[in-house]
Amino acid sequence: MILGELASWRIHAGAHPLFPAAFAWIEGLRADAPSGKFPIADGLVGGIDRYRTAPSADRGWEAHRIHGDIQLLLDGEELLGLGALKGLTVTRPYDLAKDTEKYGPHPSPGPAARLVPGRFAILFPGEAHQPGVMTEAGPRDVAKVVVKFRA
């Protein structure tokens, strides 16, 4: 997992050959960008979603096997739970079409990452995460970008 600031994403450009195209696309987005899925390049798809954050107990954990995520908020603030796969209980078996396996509550999560506009998280296959968790300020509406890259 990598946490960083959008203004300095180039520090991580060498971590994957698709990162330059992914971040070039992200940099062109505005907070009012339309929701939906957007092909960016071969092996690279962007998605923009809007939702309301919720308490950790109401948000599930997930992991991917084929794709990694670049997650960044265009608007709002949320916590992104981070933790190891070990100890998680599968609640929805792996779905190849969605490249996602879902899990119940984490018995020993690590510290959560605070996502705000301009701050991103890169998650690689096999890294458990819990998106959409509200901050101490309570539930908030967010606009979130998730770029899926083939790892």
All domains in the chain, ordered by first residue: 2-150 (2.60.120.370)
Q: What is the pLDDT of residue 32?
A: 94
Q: What is the pLDDT of residue 37?
A: 97
**Going edge to edge, which strands form the sheet with 90-95?**
90-95, 100-103, 61-63, 128-133, 78-83, 113-115
3-20 average pLDDT score: 96
Q: What is the pLDDT of residue 127?
A: 96
Q: How many Å apart are CA 5 and CA 93, to the nearest integer?
A: 33
Please indicate, yes or no, whether the overall pTM of this predicted structure exceeds 0.75: yes
* Predicted confidence (pLDDT) per residue in 84-135, tens digit: 999 999 999 999 999 999 999 999 999 999 999 999 999 999 999 999 999 9
Q: What is the pLDDT of residue 96?
A: 97
* Predicted confidence (pLDDT) per residue in 43-88, tens digit: 999 999 999 999 999 999 999 999 999 999 999 999 999 999 999 9
Residue 147 pLDDT grade (very low, low, confident, very high; cuts 50, 70, 90): very high
Q: How many Å apart are CA 127 and CA 31, to the nearest integer?
A: 27
Q: What is the pLDDT of residue 1?
A: 94
Q: Which residues have CB under 8 Å from 97's CB, separation 6+?
A: none
The pair of three-digit structure tokens given for residue 123, joined into one six-digit string: 């998650």
Q: Which residues have CB under 8 Å from 125's CB, separation 6+?
A: 63, 64, 65, 66, 67, 68, 151
